[in-house]
Amino acid sequence: MAINWTEAQVAELVAKVVKEIRSEQPVPQKNWDSTQYNGRKFKGIYAAMEEAIAAAEAGYRAIRAMSVAEREKLIASIREYCRAEAATLANLGVTETKMGRVDHKTAKHILVADKTPGTEDIVAEAKTGDHGLTLTERAPFGVVGAITPSTNPSETVICNSIGMIAAGNGVVFNPHPGAIATSNYAVDLVNRAVHAAGGPEVLVASMIKPTLDSANIMYKHPSIRLLVCTGGPGVVRSVLSSGKKAIGAGAGNPPVIVDDTADIDKAAKDIIDGCTFDNNLPCIAEKEVFVFENVADRLIAGMQKNGCLLLTRAQADALAEVVLVKKTDPKTGKISYAVSRECVGRDARVILEKIGVHVGPEIRCAIAEVPFEHLFVQQELMMPILGIVRVKNIDEAIDLACKAEHGNRHTAHMHSKNIDNLSRFAKAVETTIFVKNAPSYAGIGFGGEGHTTFTIAGPTGEGITSAKSFTRLRRCVMADHFRII
Ligand code: NAD
């Protein structure tokens, strides 16, 4: 299944996606409903979490009787449905959440369809020796409980479903309430695809109205053997304290270092292409830049050539007040910030209007030179705004970039031709993903080698999750026999 995409293939995909988008009708508002789309009632959507779990469990039992080859047919069918309905899912996601871009979301769904590993990821291990044969196989957990975010809603549901089903599991989702129609469309798509390929009618299930209470029922239910959570720090913490085996894919704040050996024009373009992909919603996207002072002006000029508006410091401060909501703890007086949902994933043009700056759609990102302490550096904004900090040398760059990453160990980027500098930062930052001389999305297989995922499990260590992450190891021992030498 591994696909090694050349630049020409990526260009071809983008052209295909753009063509599909042009032929796609906008989604009428009356159709965002968590139970149906255009009169087609969704399969696998329930009012009560217990009902959803029972349905996914019945689905799991049905696929237990299937061979791996039959299971792979289910996966092939999900890929096909996902490709065919990528533009519809993208349109629905943008309409419902008001976040992201239809063209980029379409590309993300095609990426999920093409590069999420299937059953080939489940590999058994055999060891032989004087005492016979020991076989280690990857078995399903049973029913996986999954929490999904609003930022990549249907991408995550389909990507999780491919991996979890390839591993032999059924799945119950408790999706983000702000993206429930899109998430449930994706749940229905998976069920339609599975059923069309000879599987049960319902293998993945979800809620009509997911809540924190329904998530808690899922955490405690005895049929749920594995929890997989993709989201911000709060929900990852809650899932990790559930007392169950859990995979946590949490927040990031990916820094970028640009040193003075980098191809500066390419670095400027790559950083802005990555930072603006789906309006900065992916957790891997570039969030702040540390650039050597002797190449900073050239980098900024390169970014301006690539659709960026350079803000004054006063504009940057005004924008920070608008895009972040300040909170003061009444007991401790401690100040914290939350991103304004009005701004997450919006077009740069829309965000800039909030401070009275009017630009056209050619402006895809707002950039600003700021000190290290600035909110544009410290906060995970998830919108096309990029703080830029000048640094004297590689020591200062690495020190500040590691601090800005806040120990999430999620993702970091670097543009350089100096192998020593690249290696030093890669080692120091300890992130799950480290991208060199490319846009951030190369780190999830878009224009880069390797498989994709929308669940990057830094906190619990599974990394770029795939089918094998959703399995449990079982050993079978035959003593003294089944050895042929
Ligand atoms: P969010 O944290 O607001 O919500 C995620 C999900 O958790 C939703 O379904 C929400 O309803 C639920 N939830 C929130 N608090 C909960 C609690 N205490 N108990 C149970 N459920 C709870 O996430 P979002 O804003 O949709 O997504 C953005 C965040 O997710 C960012 O921080 C981003 O970095 C992160 N993210 C990480 C990855 C990854 O792979 N590591 C991928 C996508 C998003």
**Which two tokens mark 359?**
């630009």
> For each of the chain's 485 residues, which pLDDT tens digit applies?
445 556 666 556 555 544 444 344 445 545 579 999 999 999 999 999 999 999 999 999 999 999 999 999 999 999 999 999 999 999 999 999 999 999 999 999 999 999 999 999 999 999 999 999 999 999 999 999 999 999 999 999 999 999 999 999 999 999 999 999 999 999 999 999 999 999 999 999 999 999 999 999 999 999 999 999 999 999 999 999 999 999 999 999 999 999 999 999 999 999 999 999 999 999 999 999 999 999 999 999 999 999 999 999 999 999 999 999 999 999 999 999 999 999 999 999 999 999 999 999 999 999 999 999 999 999 999 999 999 999 999 999 999 999 999 999 999 999 999 999 999 999 999 999 999 999 999 999 999 999 999 999 999 999 999 999 999 999 999 999 998 88
Distance 234 CA to ligand 1 centre (A): 7
Burial category of 304 from C-beta neighbours within 10 Å (exposed 0-12, middle 13-18, buried 19 and up):
middle
Is the distance from the beta carbon of residue 456 to the nearest atom of ligand 1 less than 6 Å? yes
Model pLDDT, residue 479: 97
Torsion over CA: 459, 461, 467, 470 (sign) = negative
Distance 249 CA to ligand 1 centre (A): 9
Cα 125 to chain centroid, rounded: 30
Q: Using an 8 Å Cβ cutoff, are 433 and 277 in contact? A: no
Q: Using an 8 Å Cβ cutoff, are 189 and 82 in contact? A: yes
Residues ≥6 apart with Cβ < 8 Å to 445: 5, 111, 115, 451, 452
Cα-flanking dihedrals φ and ψ of residue 227, to 5°? -110, 135
DSSP 374: S
* Residue of 158, 235, 452 with the most ligand 1 atoms within 8 Å of its CB, for mutation: 235
Model pLDDT, residue 168: 98
Q: Using an 8 Å Cβ cutoff, are 340 and 324 in contact? A: yes
Is the distance from the beta carbon of residue 349 to the nearest atom of ligand 1 less than 6 Å? no
Is the distance from the beta carbon of residue 455 to the nearest atom of ligand 1 less than 6 Å? yes
Residues ≥6 apart with Cβ < 8 Å to 244: 219, 224, 225, 226, 227
Q: Using an 8 Å Cβ cutoff, are 105 and 440 in contact? A: no
Is the distance from the beta carbon of residue 232 to the nearest atom of ligand 1 less than 6 Å? yes
| End-to-end alpha carbon distance in the chain | 34
**Which two tokens mark 148?**
């999904």
Model pLDDT, residue 7: 60
Residue located nearest, by CA, to atom 20 of ligand 1: 212
Is the distance from the beta carbon of residue 100 to the nearest atom of ligand 1 less than 6 Å? no
Q: Using an 8 Å Cβ cutoff, are 108 and 189 in contact? A: no
Residue located nearest, by CA, to atom 18 of ligand 1: 235
Residue located nearest, by CA, to atom 2 of ligand 1: 232
Is the distance from the beta carbon of residue 250 to the nearest atom of ligand 1 less than 6 Å? yes
Distance 148 CA to ligand 1 centre (A): 7
Is the distance from the beta carbon of residue 283 to the nearest atom of ligand 1 less than 6 Å? yes
Residue located nearest, by CA, to atom 30 of ligand 1: 231
Distance 261 CA to ligand 1 centre (A): 37
> Directed axis angle between helix 394-405 and helix 419-429, to 10°?
30
Distance 458 CA to ligand 1 centre (A): 14
Model pLDDT, residue 16: 55
Distance 75 CA to ligand 1 centre (A): 26
Is the distance from the beta carbon of residue 234 to the nearest atom of ligand 1 less than 6 Å? yes
Model pLDDT, residue 238: 96
Q: Using an 8 Å Cβ cutoff, are 176 and 231 in contact? A: yes
Q: Using an 8 Å Cβ cutoff, are 142 and 170 in contact? A: yes
Distance 151 CA to ligand 1 centre (A): 8
Is the distance from the beta carbon of residue 147 to the nearest atom of ligand 1 less than 6 Å? yes
In the three-class reduction of DSSP (H, G, I as helix; E, B as strand; rest coil), residue 32 is classed as coil
Cα 470 to chain centroid, rounded: 17
According to DSSP H, which parts of 307-450 are helical?
Answer: 313-323, 348-353, 375-378, 394-405, 419-429
Is the distance from the beta carbon of residue 149 to the nearest atom of ligand 1 less than 6 Å? yes
d(CA 301, CA 128): 62
Distance 175 CA to ligand 1 centre (A): 9
Q: How many CB atoms lie within 10 A of CB 478?
A: 13
What is the chain's alpha carbon radius of gyration, rounded to the nearest angstrom? 23
d(CA 233, CA 145): 18
Is the distance from the beta carbon of residue 142 to the nearest atom of ligand 1 less than 6 Å? no
Q: Using an 8 Å Cβ cutoff, are 163 and 469 in contact? A: yes
Model pLDDT, residue 9: 61
Is the distance from the beta carbon of residue 150 to the nearest atom of ligand 1 less than 6 Å? yes
Which residues sit opposite 415 in a β-bridge? 258
DSSP 469: G
Residues ≥6 apart with Cβ < 8 Å to 440: 254, 274, 275, 277, 282, 284, 285, 286, 411, 413
Q: How many CB atoms lie within 10 A of CB 350?
A: 14
Model pLDDT, residue 24: 46
Residues ≥6 apart with Cβ < 8 Å to 28: none
Which residues sit opposite 40 in a β-bridge? 37
**Which two tokens mark 2?**
């591994």
**Which two tokens mark 342?**
């009005």
The pTM assigned to this predicted structure is 0.93
The CA distances from residue 358 to 173, 300, 348, 363, 366, in Å, are 40, 20, 10, 10, 12
SS3 content of the chain, % helix, strand, coil (to 5): 45, 20, 35
